[in-house]
Amino acid sequence: MQPKRRWKRASAASSSELTGEGEQPSQEQLYASALKALTRRAFPTRELEQRLLRSCTDAAAVNRVIERLKNAGYLDDQKFAKTFIQSRLHHKAQGRARIERELRARGLNPKLVREELEKAYPVEAEREPLQHALERKLRSLPPPMDAKKLSRLYNHLLRRGFPGEAIRLELRRLLKMEMDSD
């Protein structure tokens, strides 16, 4: 019996794939590589820059490619932040703190992150995603709510980026409703 053949996953072209072993890719090859990466998913400027620098040691060429992408409208940190926030808010029900932390980790300007979060996700609006995340998690927990399960639920919501005080208020409200219905 022959061993299974494992196929290599296609990745962004490295410098050795683009030109040959040891040669630097041309600016056009870098641009093509960046466009190929951007067709798969959106990137913030810093992340794409680091990706290109892995295949090319010429920082000036990488900067020219980044500027060309920005001028063409293919690379926009503000648009990236806006779509990232909307995605995390509506599909993953995450809190402001976690979204902000993830955007900063991707290399976005903290001022830009704060501005976009204020526009799309004001502090007052955090209750709705918190309730949604709480309801989703409660569906997976069996009914008798003891202290251990309550602690796990609280920690789960904290990891999702919701503030502790808001979680405590929501849990009190939920437990009060549960007590009233019994």
Q: Rounded to 5 degrees, what angle do the CA atoms 91, 167, 126 make?
A: 45
Per-residue pLDDT reduced to its tens digit, 17-68: 444 455 788 889 999 999 999 999 999 999 999 999 998 888 999 999 999 9
Cα dist from 36 to 74, 84, 131, 137, 145, whole Å: 11, 20, 39, 38, 50
Cα dist from 98 to 46, 94, 148, whole Å: 19, 7, 24
Per-residue pLDDT reduced to its tens digit, 130-171: 888 888 888 887 777 788 888 888 999 999 889 989 899 988
